């Protein structure tokens, strides 16, 4: 069969990535930098060792929900309790289908009682928006996809605040963990939240496309190091943060994924609630665990995991951590989640492993 060419989107920072030596690869329908000239390991080290790393995550989606029924609508569509949010607060949550499995995991920003802002995953954007708009028909709400007009940057690491502060008209000290502010960035309205996907202190910055290049350049001038997809995945795996298509998908519920802490069964009805309650009562079909290799090797996605010599599951995310060695997240049979001798098959050989607590390395988020 002939190769089928797929049109890939580009963020407003595509030329900037290329100019910095970014190795561009297909990712979630976009051409994105997997690493720059320094390489993924040095990028990772910059974030972990006290610098500020800047990530272009414009491939993520942004949806604005507003109207008289905005709260009731989001309570019905998401797993977490939106009523607990105060203005300027961010909440990690999820969208489920009627089977109780994941459509996506999201973050919800409360702007006002009748206005919210959602950040959704890149690969799921169009599916998510279609779901959100279909469900909106039963509520007095407006659901607007703002993704194409919005650039999203993540600035992560101990030096992030110092790099970002000169671009803003408000003191970043006033923005706490999982809080945000509508704020001028280089004189233009944007949103800055103290959130991230790395386990370090840092910010996510929502700005209009028109100022993306200037903000990017200013942050580089202020000492930020450009970071690609490879280092980003290393950082999030060390924290044990879920990634759609890996730890969460339309094949697992929050019960299996250890995400019942964002699934509030006592808040009232929501899509997937009945199915989640049933799964919780019956028990999970598999369980997500964190593991560390005892022997040498690098655990990779889909590598088989055995317990007491019998196949039990497979790795969903794995890597060699410069700080913790071979680490991975894996689904195993429920009866193997807490006991039994673990091993991972690597290149045809069984490598001994042990269960671990998360995160694999210390988190430095500013709570």
> 24-38 pLDDT, tens per residue?
999 999 999 999 999
User: In the predicted model, what is the mean pLDDT of the chain?
Assistant: 97
- Asked whether 155 and 164 are in contact (CB, 8 A), the reply is yes
**Per-residue model confidence (pLDDT) at position 186:** 98
Average pLDDT value for residue range 70-97: 98
pLDDT of residue 2 exceeding 50? no
Give the mean model confidence (pLDDT) for residues 4-24.
91
Q: What is the pLDDT of residue 159?
A: 98
Asked if 333 contacts 284 with a C-beta cutoff of 8 angstroms, the reply is no
Look at residue 288 and tell me whether its pLDDT is greater than 70: yes
SS (HEC) of the chain: CCCCCCCCECCCCHHHHHHCCCEEEEECCEEEEEECCCCHHHHHHHHHCCCCEEEECCCCEEEEEECCCHHHHHHHHECCCHHHCCCCEEEEEEEECCCCCEEEEEEEEEEECCEEEEEECHHHHHHHHHHHHHHHCCCCCEEEECHHHEEEEEEECCCHHHHHHHHECCCHHHCCECEEEEEEECCEEEEEEECCCCCECEEEEEEEHHHHHHHHHHHHHCCCEECCHHHHHHHHHHHCCCCECCCECCCCCCCCCCCHHHCCCCCCCCCCHHHHHHHHHHCCCCEEEEEEECCCCCCCCCCEEEECCEEEEEEEEEEEECCCEEEEEEEECHHHCCCCCEEEEECCEEEEEEEECCCCCCCECCC
Q: Residue 5 pLDDT > 80, yes or no?
A: no
pLDDT per residue over 99-117, tens digit each?
Answer: 999 999 999 999 999 999 9
pLDDT band at 367 (very low <50, low <70, confident <90, very high): confident
Tell which residue, 213, 211, 210, 202, has the closest CA to residue 164.
202
**In the structure, what pLDDT confidence band is assigned to residue 20 with cuts at 50, 70 and 90?**
very high
Over the stretch 135-190, which tens digit does the pLDDT of each residue have?
999 999 999 999 999 999 999 999 999 999 999 999 999 999 999 999 999 999 99
**Percentage of the chain with pLDDT > 90?**
97
Confidence of residue 295 (pLDDT cuts 50, 70, 90): confident
**CB neighbour list of residue 192: distance below 8 Å, 6 or more residues apart:** 164, 168, 172, 175, 180, 181, 183, 185, 203, 204, 205, 206
What is the token pair recorded at 196? 């991230």
Backbone angles phi, psi at 60, to 5 degrees: -65, 160
Q: Give Cα separations from 82 to 47, 94, 114, 117, 260 (angstroms).
A: 32, 11, 12, 12, 15
pLDDT digits (tens, 9 = 90+) for 231-259: 999 999 999 999 999 999 999 999 999 99
For residue 46, what pLDDT is reported?
98
Question: Torsions phi, psi of 119, nearest 5?
Answer: -110, 125
Which domains, ranges and CATH numbers included, belong to the chain?
1-284 (3.30.1360.120), 286-356 (2.40.30.110)
Q: What integer is the mean pLDDT of 207-229?
A: 98
What average pLDDT does this structure show over 208-219? 98
pLDDT of residue 40: 98
Question: Per-residue pLDDT averaged across 263-267, rounded?
Answer: 98
* Whole-number percent of the chain with pLDDT over 70: 98
Q: To 5 degrees, how large is the angle CA 220–CA 222–CA 228?
A: 30
pLDDT of 1 reads: 40
Look at residue 326 and tell me whether its pLDDT is greater than 50.
Answer: yes
């Amino acid at each position: 069969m002939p190769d089928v060419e797929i049109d890939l989107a580009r963020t407003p920072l595509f030329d900037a990535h290329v100019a910095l030596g970014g190795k561009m690869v297909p990712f979630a329908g976009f051409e994105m930098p997997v690493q720059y000239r320094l390489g993924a390991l040095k990028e990772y080290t910059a974030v972990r060792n006290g610098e500020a790393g800047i990530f272009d995550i414009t491939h993520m989606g942004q949806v604005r929900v507003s109207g008289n029924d905005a709260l009731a609508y989001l309570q019905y569509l998401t797993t977490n309790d939106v009523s607990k949010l105060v203005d300027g607060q961010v909440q990690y949550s999820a969208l489920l289908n009627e089977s109780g499995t994941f459509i996506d995991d999201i973050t919800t920003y409360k702007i006002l009682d009748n206005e919210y802002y959602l950040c959704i995953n890149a690969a799921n954007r169009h599916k998510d928006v279609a779901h959100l708009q279909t469900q909106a028909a039963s509520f007095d709400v407006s659901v607007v996809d703002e993704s194409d007009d919005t650039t999203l940057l993540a600035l992560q690491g101990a030096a992030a605040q110092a790099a970002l502060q000169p671009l803003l008209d408000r003191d970043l000290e006033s923005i706490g963990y999982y809080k945000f502010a509508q704020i001028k960035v280089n004189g233009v309205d944007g949103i800055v939240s103290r959130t991230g996907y790395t386990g370090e202190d840092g910010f996510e910055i929502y700005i209009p496309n028109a100022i993306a290049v200037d903000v990017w350049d200013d942050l580089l001038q202020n000492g930020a190091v450009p970071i690609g997809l490879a280092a980003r995945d290393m950082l999030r795996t060390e924290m044990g943060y879920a990634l759609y298509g890996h730890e969460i998908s339309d094949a697992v519920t929050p019960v299996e994924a250890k995400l019942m802490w964002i699934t509030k069964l006592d808040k009232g009805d929501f899509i997937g609630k009945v199915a989640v309650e049933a799964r919780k009562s019956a028990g999970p079909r598999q369980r997500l665990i964190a593991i560390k290799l005892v022997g040498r090797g690098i655990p990779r996605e889909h590598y088989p995991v055995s317990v007491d010599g019998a196949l039990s599951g497979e790795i969903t995310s794995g890597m060699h951590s410069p700080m913790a060695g071979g680490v991975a997240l894996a689904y195993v049979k429920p009866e193997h989640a807490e006991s039994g001798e673990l091993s991972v098959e690597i290149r045809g050989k069984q490598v001994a492993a042990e269960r671990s607590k998360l995160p694999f390395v210390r988190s430095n988020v500013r709570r």
